[in-house]
Structure 1
Amino acid sequence: MATVPWLVDVLRAAGVQVVVEGDWLNRSAGSSFAPIGVLWHHTAATSSASNPHPALNICINGRSDLPGPLCQALVDYHGVFHVISANRCNHAGVSRGSGPIPAGDGNTLMIGWEIDYNGVNQEMTAAQYNASIAATAAVLKRLGRDASHARGHRETSTSGKIDPSFIDLNTMRADVAAKMAGGGGTWSSVVDNSTAGRFAASASWGTSTYSTQRYGTDYRFAEPVAASDAAWYKFNVPATANYRVDAWWPAVSGYNSATPYIVSTTTGNRTVIVDQRATGGQWRTLGTFTLPAGDANRVAVSRWSSAAGLIVADAVRLTRV
């Protein structure tokens, strides 16, 4: 049986803040463990600055239907790694295979991070993302594997798991690769229309689940008018820098062909017009802009369009470039 008694030292050497949880060297969920990759999860618990690791006890001790430990480390709201086990953990279940990770026993094949956020109306914090990138890069180096061995549970699950929500896993792997190559990694954040405290729209914006191309559980819509009445997406931008702005909308032939997206930059608002009748169900790049640091409304969908058809507000992503 392999173990990873080096985990704490490797994480700390990578600049990750670590808290050791009890007898982590001996805590185990079985004897078959020969990891070749790292698997990302979210806990489905709602974390906050005042309650940064609500799922920690469950991750250590397990549930009535699944004995602990449930991960090698839990990543709290502040990006602190709570190291739980150096051994096999019940986090992955059966792997259907993804990238270089073969089908088989995921608990044997992968080291697991449980990132403590709910994944429904809460995304991971920038601190969680950045710490998880640094930790994943360091562990994969120690294992002698490349960034393709970093996967999300939704990529390997045979039972329809959705975790980790609200991140692009290809972007995650690119950030891990950059970190492994000596770069600083890349900050990225997604705000959906259902992200708590991050989306604001007037009562004129309805809610729909009509299109299966939606991001998340639903999206917002409104008729075009000769007024902005914008739906705003709020981001906590970590530093004044250049950011790629991507938008996601469900495309329907009757939707608006000239939907205005507004980006609040360091030099004022910039407007980008998109056709929401086409290229839906995927990230579409609006452009790269210099955004100021701070927690504020950064991107909006405006109703001010001369074209016919419903205007949709679904999800927006910022990525530092």
Structure 2
Amino acid sequence: MATPPSAATFAALLRAEGINVVEVGDWEHHNRNAKGPWGPVHGVMIHHTVTTGTANSVGIVRDGYADLPGPLCHGMIAKDGAVHLVGYGRANHAGLGDPDVLQAVIAEKAPPVDDQAAVDGNRHFYGFECENLGDGQDPWPQEQLLAIERVAAAICRHHGWSARSVIRHLDWQPGKVDPRGPGMDWAAMLALVAKRLGTKPPTATLPTPPQVPRISLSKLIAAARHDPAAHGTPVTYAGTRTVEIALINEGLLSLARLDGHYGSATKTAMSEWQERCGFHGRAPGQPADGIPGHDSLVRLGNKHGFIVVA
């Protein structure tokens, strides 16, 4: 548990670790503090952006979307290793996560497999988005990996934390997969952070969450059929975000509509995917309904790296 330093101190401690820091606009005062507290902080969380292009990625994580206002992190780590500071304070990066994972981070132990979303992570974690498509194929350059190592070590050094205070988004929230891709070896990353801090690498065995997301067809159908106009808040199912990312990568859904809810935009995108797969509506000329079906969802999963279960 710790109190975040001032914005100036934060930038200085990153630079002291050898990081190329790029300060974006009024980042020191850009935050979501009006929506809730930031702190006490307990750790550092690493994400990937699901975007390409440094300028584009910086703009998205700074400004956010209509349904998810920015900042979406404190810093965006580019492919070339530069760290673009876009906000300081509460940021929309972590969302609700597993309380057992938070307790493990506080105790500096290996996190258990996450299975529930109940604790406000935006309050308790520094967040860094890393420029990467998140499709499991986009590689992680050494310059970027070194920057992640340095960022994590700089913050841990300031607070007196160990490498176990650094976690992935997938450790925190059910259904998340970030960060992933060629070159992203998390055990090796923690060992490098520990070495930089002058401590031994973590030795506790980490029960690794499945790298291949498992999407429940029945839960996804329930989310798709829920009518928020009649029943209020949309049904939340963590796997929806994974499906949305696949539809985004197919060019069927706008990145701005990535919100984890199976709304009308997601339904339209799924309908277009079903049409691509040769499935149509019940009446002649009628489009597919966009309610997930087994065969079309399996095809989407086979192409974008997730497994469909009952």
Q: What one-letter code is carried by the residue in structure 1 that aligns with 2:143?
A: A
Instruction: Report the secondary structure of 1:56's partner residue.
Output: helix
Is 1:143 paired with 2:156? no
Q: How many residues align?
A: 184
Provide, for residues 221-274 of structure 1, a one-character-per-residue CA deviation record: whole Å limited to 9, x for no partner: xxxxxxxxxxxxxxxxxxxxxxxxxxxxxxxxxxxxxxxxxxxxxxxxxxxxxx
Is 1:108 paired with 2:113? no
Superposed structure 1 runs of 4+ greater than 3 Å apart: 1-4, 214-217
Equivalent residues of 1:71, 1:84 under 8 A apart: yes
Question: Shift of the alpha carbon at 1:100?
Answer: 1.7
Partner of 1:172: 189
Q: What one-letter code is carried by the residue in structure 1 that aligns with 2:190?
A: R
Give distance in 2, aligned partners of 1:28 and 1:215: 32
Instruction: Report the secondary structure of 1:155's partner residue.
Output: helix
Partner of 1:32: 37
Q: 2:69 aligns with which of 59, 67, 70?
A: 67
Give distance in 1, aligned partners of 2:78 and 2:47: 12
Q: Pick closer, same or farther for the CA change 1:110–1:4 going to 2, 3 Å.
A: farther
Equivalent residues of 2:80, 2:141 under 8 A apart: yes
Give distance in 2, aligned partners of 1:141 and 1:105: 24
| Superposition CA RMSD, Å | 2.5
Partner of 1:315: none
Instruction: Report the secondary structure of 2:56's partner residue.
Output: coil
Give distance in 2, aligned partners of 1:127 and 1:60: 22
Ranges in structure 1 where 5+ consecutive residues have no aligned partner? 186-213, 218-321
Partner of 1:44: 50
Give distance in 2, aligned partners of 1:182 and 1:149: 13
Q: More helix by proportion, 1 or 2? A: 2
Ranges in structure 2 where 5+ consecutive residues have no aligned partner? 108-117, 202-209, 214-310
Q: 2:57 aligns with which of 37, 46, 55?
A: 55
Partner of 2:269: none
The structure that has the greater radius of gyration is 1
Q: 2:140 aligns with which of 124, 130, 141?
A: 124
Give distance in 2, aligned partners of 1:156 and 1:215: 14
Equivalent residues of 2:170, 2:177 under 8 A apart: yes
Give distance in 2, aligned partners of 1:182 and 1:26: 34
Partner of 2:307: none
Q: Pick closer, same or farther for the CA change 1:57–1:116 going to 2, 3 Å.
A: same
Give distance in 2, aligned partners of 1:168 and 1:4: 32
Partner of 1:271: none
Equivalent residues of 1:44, 1:119 under 8 A apart: yes
Q: 2:15 aligns with which of 12, 15, 18?
A: 12
Q: What one-letter code is carried by the residue in structure 1 that aligns with 2:165?
A: H
Question: Shift of the alpha carbon at 1:168?
Answer: 2.8
Instruction: Report the secondary structure of 1:54's partner residue.
Output: helix
